[in-house]
Chains A and B, each alone.
Chain A
Amino acid sequence: MDNGPPVLAIKNMSRYPSKLILAHSWQRCTILVLLAGALVGCTTKAEFSENAVYILKQELASNAEFSQQRHLDLADVMAGMFGTPDEPNVPKLGDVEISKILDATHLYVASGPVSSDERGRARGLYREHCAHCHGVTGDGAGPTAAFLNPYPRDYRMGIFKFKSTPKGGKPTHEDLKDILVNGIPGTAMPSFKVLPNNELEALISYVRYLSIRGEVERSLVFLATNELGADERLFDISAPAEVKSEQASLIREYAAEVAQKWVDAESQATPIESPDPDRDMVASIKHGRELFYGPIANCVKCHGDSALGDGQKSDYDDWTKELEPTNEEVLEEFLGLGSFVLAPRNIHPRNLRQGVYRGGRRPIDLFRRVHNGIDGTPMPGALIIPDDAPAGTKGLTKSDLWSLVDYVRSLPYESISRPPVIEQGYQRSRM
Chain B
Amino acid sequence: MKNAFTLVISAVLLASGSLSAAEWGDLKLTFVYDGAAPAATTINVNKDPQFCGQFGLVDEALVVNKENGGIANVIAYLYTRSGPKPEVHPDYAASANEKVVLDNEKCRFEPHVLLLQTTQTLVMKNSDSVGHNTNYSTFTNPPQNILIPSGGQVEQKLSQPERLPAKVACNIHPWMTSWLVVQDNPYSGVSNKDGELVIKNLPVGTWTFQFWQEAGGYVAKVKQDGKATEWSRGRLEVTIKPGMNDLGEIKYKP
Chain A contact residues, CB within 8 Å of chain B:
61-64, 166-169, 222, 226-227, 230, 257, 295-298, 301-302, 312, 314-315, 318, 373, 378-383, 394-395
From residue B158, how far is it (CB to closest CB) to chain A in Å? 11
* Assembled-state Cα–Cα distance A383/B145 (Å): 10
* Assembled-state Cα–Cα distance A226/B218 (Å): 10
List 5 A–B pairs whose Cβ atoms lie within 8 Å, in order of A's numbering: A166-B142, A168-B143, A373-B147, A380-B145, A383-B152
* Assembled-state Cα–Cα distance A345/B8 (Å): 64
Interface string of B46-64 (1 = CB under 8 A from A): 0100000000000000000
Contact A296 B164 (CB under 8 A): no
Contact A380 B146 (CB under 8 A): yes
Q: Which 8 A-B pairs have the closest CB atoms?
A: A168-B142, A394-B152, A378-B171, A298-B131, A380-B133, A380-B147, A296-B149, A380-B145
Instruction: Give every chain B residue within 8 A of A298 (Cβ-Cβ).
Output: 131, 147, 149, 172
Given contacts A63-B218, A230-B232, A301-B172, contact A295 B135 (CB under 8 A): no
Contact A62 B171 (CB under 8 A): no
Contact A380 B130 (CB under 8 A): no
Chain A residue with the shortest CB-CB distance to B139: A222
Interface string of B182-226 (1 = CB under 8 A from A): 000000000000000000000000000000000001101000000
Chain A residue with the shortest CB-CB distance to B151: A394
* Chain B contact residues, majority secondary structure: loop
Contact B151 A61 (CB under 8 A): no
Contact B147 A297 (CB under 8 A): yes
* Assembled-state Cα–Cα distance A298/B138 (Å): 25
Does B144 sit within 8 A of A, measured CB to CB? yes
Interface string of B139-169 (1 = CB under 8 A from A): 0111111111111111000000001100000
From residue A203, how far is it (CB to closest CB) to chain B in Å? 27
Instruction: Give every chain A residue within 8 A of B227 (Cβ-Cβ).
Output: none
* Assembled-state Cα–Cα distance A371/B98 (Å): 28
From residue B161, how far is it (CB to closest CB) to chain A in Å? 13
Given contacts A169-B142, A395-B149, contact A318 B171 (CB under 8 A): no
Instruction: Give every chain A residue within 8 A of B81 (Cβ-Cβ).
Output: 227
From residue B215, how far is it (CB to closest CB) to chain A in Å? 12
Given contacts A167-B142, A315-B171, contact A62 B131 (CB under 8 A): no
Contact B171 A314 (CB under 8 A): no
Instruction: Give every chain A residue within 8 A of B152 (Cβ-Cβ).
Output: 296, 383, 394-395
Contact B174 A295 (CB under 8 A): no
Instruction: Give every chain A residue within 8 A of B217 (Cβ-Cβ).
Output: 61-63
Q: Which of A168, A257, A301, A383 contacts B154 (CB 8 A)?
A: A383
Does B233 sit within 8 A of A, measured CB to CB? yes
Chain B residue total in the interface (Cβ 8 A): 35
From residue A349, how far is it (CB to closest CB) to chain B in Å? 10
From residue A184, how far is it (CB to closest CB) to chain B in Å? 21
Given contacts A226-B233, A296-B149, A298-B131, contact A315 B142 (CB under 8 A): no
Q: Which of A230, A295, A318 contacts B137 (CB 8 A)?
A: A318
Instruction: Give every chain A residue within 8 A of B150 (Cβ-Cβ).
Output: 295, 394
Interface string of B71-82 (1 = CB under 8 A from A): 000000000010
Contact A378 B133 (CB under 8 A): yes
* Assembled-state Cα–Cα distance A378/B152 (Å): 19
* Assembled-state Cα–Cα distance A169/B148 (Å): 21
* Assembled-state Cα–Cα distance A318/B149 (Å): 24
Instruction: Give every chain A residue within 8 A of B135 (Cβ-Cβ).
Output: 378, 380
* Assembled-state Cα–Cα distance A167/B142 (Å): 7
Instruction: Give every chain A residue within 8 A of B174 (Cβ-Cβ).
Output: 314-315
* Assembled-state Cα–Cα distance A62/B143 (Å): 23
* Assembled-state Cα–Cα distance A64/B217 (Å): 13
Instruction: Give every chain B residue within 8 A of A230 (Cβ-Cβ).
Output: 232
* Assembled-state Cα–Cα distance A62/B145 (Å): 27
Interface residues of B in 108-146 (CB under 8 A from A): 129-131, 133-135, 137-138, 140-146
* Assembled-state Cα–Cα distance A126/B135 (Å): 34
Contact B133 A295 (CB under 8 A): no
Instruction: Give every chain A residue within 8 A of B164 (Cβ-Cβ).
Output: 226
Other A-B pairs beyond A378-B135, A381-B144, 16, CB < 8 Å:
A62-B218, A62-B233, A63-B220, A63-B233, A222-B163, A226-B163, A226-B164, A227-B163, A230-B232, A315-B171, A380-B145, A383-B147, A383-B152, A394-B150, A394-B153, A395-B152
Chain A residue with the shortest CB-CB distance to B172: A301
From residue A280, how far is it (CB to closest CB) to chain B in Å? 25
Interface string of B214-247 (1 = CB under 8 A from A): 0001101000000000001100000000000000
Chain B residue with the shortest CB-CB distance to A246: B82
Contact B140 A257 (CB under 8 A): yes
Q: Which of A61, A168, A296 contacts B131 (CB 8 A)?
A: A296
Instruction: Give every chain A residue within 8 A of B129 (Cβ-Cβ).
Output: 295
Q: Which of B141, B146, B153 contacts A382 (CB 8 A)?
A: B146
Contact A383 B148 (CB under 8 A): yes
* Assembled-state Cα–Cα distance A355/B147 (Å): 24
Chain A residue with the shortest CB-CB distance to B167: A321
From residue B74, how far is it (CB to closest CB) to chain A in Å? 17
Chain B residue with the shortest CB-CB distance to A227: B81
Contact A295 B130 (CB under 8 A): yes
Instruction: Give every chain B residue within 8 A of A312 (Cβ-Cβ).
Output: 47, 171-172
Instruction: Give every chain B residue within 8 A of A62 (Cβ-Cβ).
Output: 217-218, 233
Given contacts A61-B217, A62-B233, A378-B133, contact A383 B146 (CB under 8 A): yes
From residue B156, how far is it (CB to closest CB) to chain A in Å? 11
Contact B131 A373 (CB under 8 A): no
* Assembled-state Cα–Cα distance A187/B134 (Å): 28
Instruction: Give every chain B residue within 8 A of A63 (Cβ-Cβ).
Output: 217-218, 220, 233
Q: Which of B130, B145, B151, B172 contacts A373 (CB 8 A)?
A: B145
Q: Which of A167, A226, A378 contacts B143 (CB 8 A)?
A: A167
Instruction: Give every chain B residue within 8 A of A297 (Cβ-Cβ).
Output: 147, 149
* Assembled-state Cα–Cα distance A297/B147 (Å): 7
Instruction: Give every chain B residue within 8 A of A295 (Cβ-Cβ).
Output: 129-131, 149-150
Tell me which of A230, A302, A394 has the highest count of chain B C-beta atoms within 10 A of its own C-beta: A394
Instruction: Give every chain A residue within 8 A of B140 (Cβ-Cβ).
Output: 257
Chain B residue with the shortest CB-CB distance to A315: B171
Instruction: Give every chain A residue within 8 A of B171 (Cβ-Cβ).
Output: 302, 312, 315, 378, 380
